[in-house]
């Protein structure tokens, strides 16, 4: 491998050495190149002095790394202090004994600074600045990183020479191989699929509900269209909320259904469409355009053109860019906690458990019957048949929506 050595006199020396070479042998090569005796050489790697008996690989030196050679007037071979005194020494935790002297020394070496800007821009920026505390923190962080890498290398070497019949050693080898595969997969993803690491912005479009402009969250994974209590009040619809449809919205968590607004006009593009809403007490999720209305109004989510078409293509509205979406809607973690159960941010569709018998508003409402037999089911069939639909189509629609008469009617009218 090739290493670069920077001398105190700003001389740059390139050496081709083996990774298992000792520091003492490197100094011998430097003596030939620089005419500086071995006894007067002090080699520093990442600010730490290198012992004569240490091997380059053990110190973490890699191909194209930079070493710094200080010249000492002391002829002892035990590694004397540099010419600038002990100010350039390092603490055991990797920080500088005298950070100001260390900073001035490195800043005064233009070649070394140029090398640092290429290999470690963060450290170079800190050295160029004036915050000595931050410099010490970065030096300690680099020391910890080197310690971790050194420990990992030692563990890998130990595994290479481990007893092949040692079960624990084999488990560690298996884990190391698996982790290597994961790391390679991650690197490949960074290269070929970098967009996979970016945040995905959910789909929002501009709509008007009862004349009030809103940012509507389009969610085909939510069973019903949802409006928050505060938003319904702002749109003048809360007075129409039918509390006989109270229930629980279930999914990843659950939320209380306050009631239902049976019909209100929404404006998409330049056209108006009838829409029904489930009302939840969810402050961070104003209006969710769910699967029931997507299906009823024959909507298409076109991600290639980044638009939603309505009415089989008669209206086309663009999905909003991130800058056009209120920041409170983009705080997905908080919305998930506060609007859990609404389907607002979770693509695993939330479903409703609600009461839908409306014969007696003051009585306790029975739970919805999902069976396809019995007098209640026959009564629903009769009511829908009276609207002009065939009995077979009515039965299929009721089964599709688990006996929900309103959703079945909406489906039949939409078809």
186, containing H or E segment: helix 167-192
The answer on pLDDT for 265 being more than 80 is yes
pLDDT for the residue numbered 32: 73
CATH fold group of domain 204-368: Cathepsin D, subunit A; domain 1 (2.40.70)
Q: Are strands 271-280 and 307-310 parallel, antiparallel or unpaired?
A: unpaired
Burial 280-293 (b: 16+ CB within 10 A, else e): bebebbbbbbbbbb
Q: Are strands 287-289 and 212-218 parallel, antiparallel or unpaired?
A: parallel
CATH fold group of domain 369-415: Helicase, Ruva Protein; domain 3 (1.10.8)
**By percentage, how much of the chain surpasses pLDDT 70?**
82
Q: Share the mean pLDDT of the chain.
A: 78
pLDDT bracket for residue 331 (50, 70, 90): low
Among 293, 277, 276, 279, CA closest to 228: 279
Q: What is the pLDDT of residues 293-319, one digit of tens each?
A: 999 999 999 999 999 999 888 899 999
pLDDT for the residue numbered 339: 41
Q: What is the pTM of this model?
A: 0.46
pLDDT for the residue numbered 344: 36
pLDDT for the residue numbered 368: 41
Q: What is the pLDDT of residues 371-414, one digit of tens each?
A: 455 777 887 888 777 777 788 888 877 887 778 877 777 777 66
226, containing H or E segment: strand 226-228
CA dist 123 and 137 (Å) reads 10
Least confident of 18-22, 38-42, 195-199: 195-199
Structure tokens, 333: 């973690």
- Of 17-31, 111-125, 260-274, 398-412, where does the model show the most confidence? 260-274
pLDDT for the residue numbered 58: 86
Among 331, 344, 207, CA closest to 278: 344
Determine the straight-line distance between the first and last CA of the chain, rounded to whole angstroms.
73
Q: What is the pLDDT of residues 207-251, one digit of tens each?
A: 999 889 999 999 988 888 999 999 999 999 999 999 888 887 766
pLDDT bracket for residue 67 (50, 70, 90): confident
219 is catalytic: yes
pLDDT bracket for residue 103 (50, 70, 90): confident
18: DSSP letter: -
pLDDT for the residue numbered 250: 66
**By percentage, how much of the chain surpasses pLDDT 90?**
20
Distances (CA, A) of 310 to 294, 295, 299, 327, 340: 8, 10, 4, 27, 28
Contact 95, 140 (CB under 8 A): yes
Of residues 16, 120, 206, 219, which has the active-site annotation?
219
The whole-angstrom distance between residue 375's C-alpha and the CA centroid of its chain comes to 52
412, containing H or E segment: helix 405-414
pLDDT bracket for residue 35 (50, 70, 90): confident
Among 352, 348, 367, 354, CA closest to 250: 352
CA dist 384 and 387 (Å) reads 5
Q: 306: Cβ–Cβ under 8 A, 6 or more apart, which residues?
A: 318, 319
What integer is the mean pLDDT of 349-368?
40
322: DSSP letter: G
Distances (CA, A) of 49 to 78, 86, 89, 94: 11, 12, 8, 11
The answer on pLDDT for 81 being more than 60 is no
CATH fold group of domain 2-150: Ubiquitin-like (UB roll) (3.10.20)
């Amino acid at each position: 491998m090739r290493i670069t050595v920077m001398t105190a006199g700003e001389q740059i020396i390139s050496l081709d050495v083996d990774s298992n070479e000792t520091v003492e042998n490197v100094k011998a090569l430097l003596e030939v190149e620089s005419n500086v005796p071995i006894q007067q050489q002090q080699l520093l790697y990442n600010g730490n002095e290198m012992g004569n008996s240490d091997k380059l690989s053990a110190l973490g030196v890699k191909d194209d790394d930079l070493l710094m050679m200080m010249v000492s007037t002391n002829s002892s071979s035990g590694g004397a202090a540099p010419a600038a005194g002990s100010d350039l020494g390092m603490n055991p935790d990797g920080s500088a004994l005298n950070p100001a002297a260390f900073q001035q020394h490195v800043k005064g070496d233009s070649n070394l600074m140029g090398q640092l800007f290429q290999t470690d821009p963060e450290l170079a920026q800190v050295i160029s600045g004036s915050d000595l505390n931050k410099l010490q923190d970065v030096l300690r962080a680099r020391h910890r990183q080197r310690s971790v890498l050194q420990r990992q290398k030692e563990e890998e070497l130990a595994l290479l020479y481990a007893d092949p019949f040692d079960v624990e050693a084999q488990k560690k080898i298996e884990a190391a191989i698996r982790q290597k595969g994961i790391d390679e997969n991650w690197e490949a993803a960074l290269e070929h699929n970098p967009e996979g690491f970016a945040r995905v912005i959910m789909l929002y479009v501009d709509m008007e509900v009862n004349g009030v402009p809103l940012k509507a969250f389009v969610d085909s994974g939510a069973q019903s269209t949802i409006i928050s209590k505060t938003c319904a009040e702002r749109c003048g619809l809360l007075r129409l909320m039918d509390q006989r449809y109270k229930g629980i919205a279930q999914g990843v968590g659950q939320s209380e259904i306050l009631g239902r607004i049976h019909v209100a006009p929404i404006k998409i593009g330049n056209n108006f469409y009838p829409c029904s809403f489930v009302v939840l007490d969810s402050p961070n999720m104003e209006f969710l355009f769910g699967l029931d209305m997507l299906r009823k109004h024959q909507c298409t989510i076109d991600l290639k053109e980044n638009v939603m078409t309505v009415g089989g293509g008669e209206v086309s509205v663009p999905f909003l860019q991130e800058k056009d979406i209120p920041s409170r809607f983009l705080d997905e973690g908080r919305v998930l906690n506060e609007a859990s159960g609404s389907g607002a941010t979770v693509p695993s569709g939330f479903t409703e458990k609600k009461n839908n018998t409306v014969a007696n508003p003051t009585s306790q409402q029975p739970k919805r019957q999902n069976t396809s037999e019995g007098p209640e089911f026959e009564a629903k069939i009769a009511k829908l048949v009276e609207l002009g639909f065939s009995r077979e189509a009515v039965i299929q629609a009721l089964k599709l929506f688990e006996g929900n008469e309103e959703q079945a009617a909406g489906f039949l009218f939409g078809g």
